[in-house]
Amino acid sequence: MSRTTPPRPFDVTALFPQLAPLARTATRLHPRAGSPSRHDSSVGGPLLWPADEPWPYCDGPHEWDGVNEPTSPEDVRVQRRINEAAASGYTPEDRAVLERIRAGRPWPEGPVAMLPVAQLYVRDVPLLRPPGRAGADLLQVLWCPFDHPTHPRTALYWRSAAEVTDVLGSPPEPPAVQLSDYVPQPCLVSPEEVTEFPHFLELDKESQGRLSDWSGWEAAGDAVDGAYSVAPQEFYINHLSVSPGWKAGGWSRWGVTDPMPRTCSACGTGMDPLLTIASTEWNKGTGSWAPEGDQARDPLPPGVPPANYTRVVVAGGYALQLHVCPVDADHPHLELVQ
């Protein structure tokens, strides 16, 4: 099912023309629970992985945090199925299974198999064009389901789908995961291109001053919520600049920290946003980005945070933004929590 972001309240470049040259295209992924195949773009779905290519493992360290009892990916899936089916209560059998799961699993020793996080085909997300890889039309993202030290460690793979003729049938899974939040719910995606502008904190001081002055917004009339008159830059941040949720490309979101340099550790080139792995598709402040009728179409089970369709929660509720070198796809990528 396609999803369309409602139009922005108004064209921000009409009030602040200096923003026009800074516009970027982002692809919102709109992941929603489904049954993706290896030939679909997905979040948490099976990967088109060559049978003759080793599956990636994380060497650690994997140290117990002293709080969360590890569980297995399959236990997480079973627990979710039971909770979703328990509208009228839990059976004794259900309770026994949940009690076993809550008891935890042994903490893993040695390397841990990584879990699929996302698979995106260029046919669905055209802006995914890795430098120097003319034939690459598929991005695969995996992570280790343990904190390193505050979020999962990720791995990126670019490949040509046509070259994968013998597919790995049963990929290995980790014997345990630190948190159920690190096991993505299998989701199909509905890619949609939107226009973004830099986060307020990435603008120059002159632009920040103009966006912070309420008088500059008054020409928009009722299109601007008067409740933002004390801090109109917050209206820009929430509704006009960087889209929330899972997305490819666009601009980086800030707020946990001020903007920091994102340069390639191999060549020093400024890095570009590649993929945002989000804890929620929107929140109370960014609700204007929610596709119309979305919550009615995709109700979530009791206890699941609003708009948390993938069941992923990063660093307590933030987003993990992956950045890549625009010069060489083989250079190390950068992980940023905001």
8 A C-beta contact, residue 180 and residue 122: no
Type of residue at 2: S
CB atoms within 10 A of CB 37: 11
The Cα 146–Cα 128 span in angstroms is: 27
Residue 54 CA from chain centroid, whole number: 25
Residue 295: its pLDDT value, please?
Answer: 67
The Cα 237–Cα 245 span in angstroms is: 14
The Cα 88–Cα 182 span in angstroms is: 28
User: Closest by alpha carbon to 255, among 317, 181, 322, 182?
Assistant: 317
Dihedrals phi, psi of 318, to nearest 5 degrees: -100, -165
8 A C-beta contact, residue 244 and residue 317: no
Return the exposure string of 122-135: e unless at least 16 CB atoms fall within 10 Å of the residue's CB, then b. bebbebbebeeeee
Residue listed under structure tokens 């949609």: 192
Q: Per residue of the chain (338 residues), give pLDDT as tens.
A: 689 999 999 999 999 999 999 999 999 999 999 999 999 999 999 999 999 999 999 999 998 888 888 999 999 999 999 999 887 799 999 999 999 999 999 999 999 999 999 999 999 999 999 998 989 999 999 999 999 999 999 999 999 999 999 999 999 999 999 999 999 999 999 999 999 999 999 999 999 999 999 999 999 999 999 999 999 999 999 999 999 999 999 999 999 999 999 999 999 999 999 999 999 999 999 999 999 877 667 788 877 888 999 999 999 999 999 999 999 999 999 999 99
